[in-house]
Amino acid sequence: MKLSNVLYRQHVGFMFKKHWAVQGRRVPIDTSIEAKLKAKGIPVEDALEFVKEKPEPRERIEIIGKYEQVKPLDENHPDYKERPCLTLKNTSVLLEGISQAQVLTKSIIAEDKLPQRIEEMAELSAPKAVHEGVKKAILSANVFDCEQKKLPKIKDAERPAFNFPRILGISDRRKNEILTNKLLQLVEKSNDAEVTQNKYVVNDAECHSVFDKDGDLIKFQDVSGILVTSNKPMKHELNENDIPFIEIPDLYPVKHTVTLPPEHFYSENSKYPLRPSVSKKHPHTTWLHFNRTEVGNLYETPVTPTQILGRSLTHAFTVASAYAKQLHGEDVKDLPEPIHINCIQTDGQRFHFGVFELNTLNVDGTDGTKNVWYCKNDVKLYDSSRYLSGMPVLENYNPKVYGYINAFYNC
């Protein structure tokens, strides 16, 4: 609120203060007495020199507060390194999307193809009660949850200056959390206790992976919405001869490190969330959330579909490589045995399934051993789920998605 209107009505004190402020800044009038005295040879001294004593330099006091003081980000910071590290965080995307991710991770892609076993298991039909549960989960994430947070501003391209009323509703982060957790709970409930006992589920697990590529230091920082781990490493039977294109794309004129901002404050170690002492530490499936309000391009252009697909690949690579580095040490290059990991990315409606095979951590150049990324993209779980003129609606539920999730969990 603009206070002046109210304050102007009547406030003698303000007038006084204003008066003091004006009078305080008065410039002394030059009476030319100084020049006259000097002319007569009488020394003139500045009165302020007698009044003012020079302040003693005081030492900075370290105050112990309630919270630890944040250290300034300068060269004395413990994490400061001379060499910049090009960092990709879970809130940003690569400019060239999937092809840039391919170059960075030195992977070849098997488009629209998942391991044979997963495809077979995905065909198995689930009981009706389970599908009812999935529908409940979708509705509960999109309609029935009671979160009321400010949603992003609505903009109309026709009249960009128009301000629409802000709508309150369920944020996309919460939608994704509810949906994925409920889906996983359903999968686990419909499986035998013996299967679920060998798995472990961690929410919001953070993985860091640091590696060199063509002379640049690159760091991937990623957060799995859900990380399912198991008591033994997962193995897929894969046949690389199925893949039609084994070339890694050429990004020219773009360099592969574009949109990876350099950072000087970082730690050089990779990080896998589960310690080596844990028995169920082997990564199995990682669920990646795509929260549209949080993930964005560095240059504020809207995120494109290929960029979203690129996220899946870099995410799977981050988790797999962080695990490999914990297993074989920081400097491992070609792995003695490939590491497999499943990845499911979702924005709450579309699901992107992928299986990543990590063969090497030597990502220099484009020749030699390569990693492999099998994926099946853009599977819609439903067409729309919302309040439509006051009534909760779920349109076109697709039961296939549950089959894939179940197959991913069981393989």
Q: What are the residues binding another protein (CB under 8 A)?
A: 1, 6-7, 9-11, 66-67, 129, 133, 136-137, 139-140, 143-148, 168, 177-178, 181-182, 185, 188-193, 196-197, 200-206, 271, 273-275, 277-281, 387, 389-392
Q: Which is nearer to another protein, 113 or 397 (CB)?
A: 397
DSSP-based three-state secondary structure for 339? strand
Q: Which is nearer to another protein, 281 or 284 (CB)?
A: 281
Q: Which is nearer to another protein, 269 or 366 (CB)?
A: 269
Q: State the minimum distance, in angstroms, from the CB of residue 191 to another protein.
A: 8
CB proximity list for 103: less than 8 A, separation 6 or greater: 248, 249, 251, 256, 366
* CA atoms of 144 and 151, how far apart (whole Å): 16
Q: State the minimum distance, in angstroms, from the CB of residue 170 to another protein.
A: 10
* CA atoms of 289 and 311, how far apart (whole Å): 10
Q: Which is nearer to another protein, 143 or 251 (CB)?
A: 143
* CA atoms of 170 and 181, how far apart (whole Å): 16
* CA atoms of 382 and 346, how far apart (whole Å): 12
Q: State the minimum distance, in angstroms, from the CB of residue 278 to another protein.
A: 4
Q: Return the DSSP state at 215.
A: T
Instruction: Copy the structure tokens of residue 273.
Output: 């969330």
Q: State the minimum distance, in angstroms, from the CB of residue 219 to another protein.
A: 15
Q: State the minimum distance, in angstroms, from the CB of residue 164 to another protein.
A: 14
Q: State the minimum distance, in angstroms, from the CB of residue 146 to another protein.
A: 4
| Burial letters 10-34, b for 16+ CB under 10 A, else e | eeeeeeeeeeeeeeeeeeeeeeeee
Q: Which is nearer to another protein, 113 or 135 (CB)?
A: 135
3-state secondary structure 157-175: CCCCCCCCCCCEECCHHHH
Q: Which is nearer to another protein, 108 or 210 (CB)?
A: 210
